[in-house]
Amino acid sequence: MSRFGLVIFTSLLIAACGPKQLEPDADFECSNCEDWNRPQEPFRLYGNTWYVGTAGLSSILIETDGGLILIDGGLPQSAAVIDTNIRSAGFDPSQISAILVSHAHFDHAGGVAALQRVTGAAVYSSVEGAKALRSGELQSDDPQFLHGPDNTSYAAIKNVIAIADRDIVTIGNVDVTAVYTPGHTPGGVSWSWESCALGTCYDVVYADSLTAVSAVGYRFSAGPAANQLIESAGTIAELDCDILLSPHPFFFGMQDKLERREEGNPFVNNVACMFYAESSLDWLEQRLKSEGKEKIDPAIIGDW
């Protein structure tokens, strides 16, 4: 075979292997999965920050001068969609150096193993989150633990690096800070970084889910999760935050904001994190009422 022929053959082989590497062993099935995994055209949020996720599950790409950073990987069947979006946005997925995970549930971490196979990237999470990611199974203290892996497990992830609260992941010229925000899961992490364009810089916060949802039989009023959610809401409310993002795009009103982009950049809102935190407390209060507890004690919230 000539050198030219060998190059063509190798290129075709690589192209053929890429999609296969991204195929899950089986699509994860849930009542919302099909809707969550609907395609979404990728777009620039601001500066070095891009949305490359699906219509219902966020995945964020950050450009740096030393590689790319990806936050969250959606469902197992989302990996191929995310890979396509990254390429459509003009980037090479093989340049991803780090994959950051908000929390280790199947709808945000399920596609990470496949994306890691393609990129070779290290995966970063909290100490508690890393335990679940390495096993592919929820830990027993997770509010959504279902007393077994059948409905919650996904492919175990290799090369997971556990980092401490307020530790920084640095790739090239970008520093991303890990902010522990447990409650929705014991290992929940929010991520923050600075994004600049034309001399104007904004603080971006990828705030982890703060919803009080659980498996049947779990009581937030009987365990640590309620107080964790309250503390995490306070933490997010106090962050420097000009652009709010979150694992589910409807929590930051993505579709509505996309429809208003001709008015400027509606994603820039320096009180969005405060509103996000307050809405999470409203959700928690409704949950506690359903469990027979009247309301959240204002003394626990403090004065944030």
What is the spatial distance between Cα 227 and Cα 221, in angstroms, rounded to a whole number?
9
Look at residues 114, 120, 124, 47 and name the one whose alpha carbon lies nearest to residue 83: 114
Separation between Cα atoms, residue 268 and residue 146, nearest integer Å: 38
User: How many C-beta atoms surround the C-beta of residue 251 within 10 A?
Assistant: 18
Contact predicate 183/225, CB 8 Å:
yes
| Residues 6 or more apart whose Cβ sits within 8 Å of residue 79 | 22, 24, 73, 111, 112, 114, 115
Rounded-to-integer distance, Cα 137 and Cα 168, Å: 26
d(CA 119, CA 126) in angstroms, rounded, equals 21
For 198, phi then psi, to 5°, come to 50, 40
32 closest CA partner among 17, 54, 14: 54
What span, in angstroms and rounded, lies between the C-alpha atoms of 155 and 118? 14
Residue 31 has, within 13 A of its CA and on its CB side, a CA count of: 0
Catalytic positions are 103, 105, 107-108, 184, 218, 248
How far is the C-alpha of 284 from the C-alpha of 139, rounded, in Å? 22
Q: Cα–Cα distance between 26 and 291 in angstroms, integer? A: 36
- Name the DSSP class of 168: E
Residues 266/257, Cβ–Cβ less than 8 Å: yes
